[in-house]
Structure 1
């Protein structure tokens, strides 16, 4: 299996290595911001400069109730949710509803590869789930993604669900054909359909993983962010609960964060500051979790 690792993300590299990568892809202005004194990256530069948000490595997790109404909708801290125990032994659909890019390495429009993986428990068998999509976005803008199905018909066990995701900055022209293959309807539809355990799907999933691994290993391509999301039915203080609704994954290392000062603007489809209505200056994704209809 093509394992995800946070340590492969750009923000975990030393400031010198980050500068070398930015120089390699022609982003000289950003490169100079990382050539000063300092040890490892790990989001430090982004916290100080407030510019290169792709250097963050942490995660902030918010939740929006599906029935919420209003011009600005409250975002709850996911760690304080109450789980919906009726979802045990049910099946759900997971979609990528939003991807906002505050900043990404490189100049101009960014080509971004997103990959997601997890396990689907069916009749005692663990079936690998894997989905990949490609998109483009400029800094301070949204990618052209809305309700993209990632996993359809996922079985929820008694301990909830878990999946991982990562974003890869693609700058190598050699990978254009591979990116086109990953963006084709054949891959996008085939990888998301997990209605039953399908032996024929296994080599197809493996092929997708190999293609993404090939792209990620090019010198001009780099993993920007990786996260693990576990949603369970427990009562601990350090894990998040599973409910139907929208989960907001923010790429950030903020030492203080107050979701009450942040809101979801349903008209603009943005996470905004309540004080001025402007988008938060971080990279983030929004995942929808809904009931699966046979």
Structure 2
């Protein structure tokens, strides 16, 4: 009995070990397991040897389908067959963002924290659609996007009117409307601001984009751009302490080397300054673009 059991284990192990390493996942469709437990068989028939099992929530790759069976691969490299059934697995659909500055939120509510900002044409994996919200995956991030801003049609995403110039005009209009407003540490408007509070207020009020509250976190959003690539609406960030090792100040770039910010210097108000001023030239660390 023990000898037969040992031979069976060795046979099964040898089968698993002969499968090649998993190929590039991009060439296969992805799916998620819906049933509690599914047997993976060596061949496409119910009498074939069970070489492994998959369970609910597990992701797999679909290699092909034949005669009521689906050939799959696992992340471990195991390849085999499962019975084809809509109730067993659900294919993971790609989605494409159709607008600029779309919030990826931790939960399905506008009150939830924005954990990433998406832009037109960004590709995500659609996990689940539920009313006004769509659950998606972006690399290692899982969150929710409002269903109005996602489509399974790449062409629709690409042809949606970006309105980028209108977005930027609106952003700058809101920012400039606060010129002269007093600086106050920890304030985010509308009657006083600190630097990051001013930037977050301007983006939220004009575009509905939720940015993190601190200057360090804001500097890590969007796409980093070099100084000679600066465009209107980019967030510029500084280390006004001069060490150039930590971000402690942010503003919104206008044009011609000027930016608008809530200054904590002797002026203590929302004002327009030049990047060429010695203080800001020496403390400049970088810029990031939220509106592509």
Instruction: Give the alignment's TM-score, normalised by structure 1.
Output: 0.23
| Greater C-alpha radius of gyration | 2
